[in-house]
Amino acid sequence: MNNRIIVPNTLVLGIDIAKENHYGQFIVNGEYIKKPFLIKNTRESFECLLDSIRELKVKYNLDYVLVGMEPTGHYWKNLAYYLKNQGIDLCLVNPYHVNKTKELEDNSPTKNDKKDAKIIAKLIYQGQYLNCMFEEELYVNLRLCSNNRQELKRQFISEKVRLIALLDEYFPELKKMFSDILGKSALCILKTCPFPQDIVNMGVLELTKKLLDATHNRVGIKKAELVYNAAKASIGVPVGLEGARYRLKLILRQLEGLQNELDDVEKLMEEYLVQTGYSEYLLSIQGVGVVTAAGFLAEIGDISKYDSYKQIQKVAGLNLKETSSGMKKGKTKISKRGRSNLRNILYQVATVMVAKNAAFKEVYTHLTKRQENQLTGKQAIVALSVRLIKVMYTLCKKKTTYTHEKVHGLTSYQQAA
């Protein structure tokens, strides 16, 4: 947040963004100029807006122009990129601030686009805005790939749930015999003999042969006998098998297609990660993989634009907040005012690193076992997420690879324990 008053001779334009119709409000030297006006999401309307800005600059003898808006979904990007290409400075206003300030305008909780445009303009004039940093094309592509992967992953999980639901109905015993229902041996059965009667008709010897071929001789007679016996004693529904068979084939085709798409997008993410120049440093951290490193950079963009790891912590919504009043001291929690995807990535990888990274495991043990201010497991993982941000930021800034002792001070934690 800039928190500075706009210099004199500046034309401020606040824009309330919507899908089709935006509303704008001009301010000059603290006073509203004209009434809120309509800006359509078309080139013709954008060009009219640009003409209005130029006319007002001449009329009021102004030197600077600053245009601000709420980052509402993706709808703000068309107008923002157009103005950027015209050489106009842009800033962003936090939607939360607009919501909290709306009653100051007319002492009314009423909300509408025209009123929001006036509030946005006033907040910009008061310096309550963020600089709008447009990412390089590399990071835009990386973020789109990361978003695509997340969507594909959600679809994959949804299809897997459908598969398990089908098996619960027709062959509930099958999934209990395989740690991964989409592993090679399980897939072999699902594709060739998915239902109990199919397995009974096939027999143990033929089933063994199919399992050996599918798993390159790693799974054979023992698993075949277990599956055969389970099929003979199955409590699965015996009717509607033809319809269920078609549904199963459809689900398996969907899963196979989604897995291929996931492999392709992860390969593309790896290529973009290498192009950022940070892959060597991020991947040197034990427990951090390609998807995690690429997802991290996809959410924050070029790490060189940050002056401190605490800025990234704030972007993730992992900065601490406390609610206290009088003699009462409230609990300290994370604000969660940030990118939930980034928090999710950091939380998941921190959980993995407790198991795979000696330094992180040492810190986790210290945080959960110390005598004073002992943290719960979840709190400790959140604390490690912040520590991971600091580690990633430091490595990329200093262009150095990871070592346990240098980054974490492992020895000091061992002594404290």
Domains, the chain, with CATH or none: 10-131 (3.30.420.40), 140-270 (1.10.287.4070), 278-416 (no CATH)
**What are the tens digits of pLDDT across the range 248-280?**
999 999 999 999 999 999 999 999 999 999 999
pLDDT bracket for residue 5 (50, 70, 90) = low
The dihedral through the CA atoms of 215, 219, 225, 231 has a sign that is: negative
Torsion angle of C-alpha atoms 114, 115, 116, 120, degrees rounded to 10: 100
Residue whose entry in the numeric block shows the structure tokens 């592993």: 183
CA 180 vs CA 186, 199, 235, 396: distances in Å: 7, 19, 21, 37
Quote the pTM value. 0.84
**What are the tens digits of pLDDT across the range 229-255?**
999 999 999 999 999 999 999 999 999
pLDDT for residue 411 is more than 60 = no
pLDDT bracket for residue 410 (50, 70, 90) = very low
Cβ(263)–Cβ(378) below 8 Å: no
Q: pLDDT higher for 379 or 335?
A: 379
| 3-class SS of residue 89 | strand
From 120, 98, 164, 112, select the one nearest 32 (Cα to Cα).
120
What is the predicted pLDDT for the residue at 97?
Answer: 81
**What are the tens digits of pLDDT across the range 311-333?**
999 989 998 776 655 656 667 78
> Among 103-107, 183-187, 193-197, 399-403, whose mean pLDDT is lowest?
103-107
Cβ(128)–Cβ(97) below 8 Å: yes
Cβ(370)–Cβ(376) below 8 Å: no
From 41, 52, 210, 28, select the one nearest 125 (Cα to Cα).
28
**What are the tens digits of pLDDT across the range 90-123?**
999 988 788 878 777 666 677 777 889 999 999 9
CA 261 to CA 153: how far, in whole Å? 10
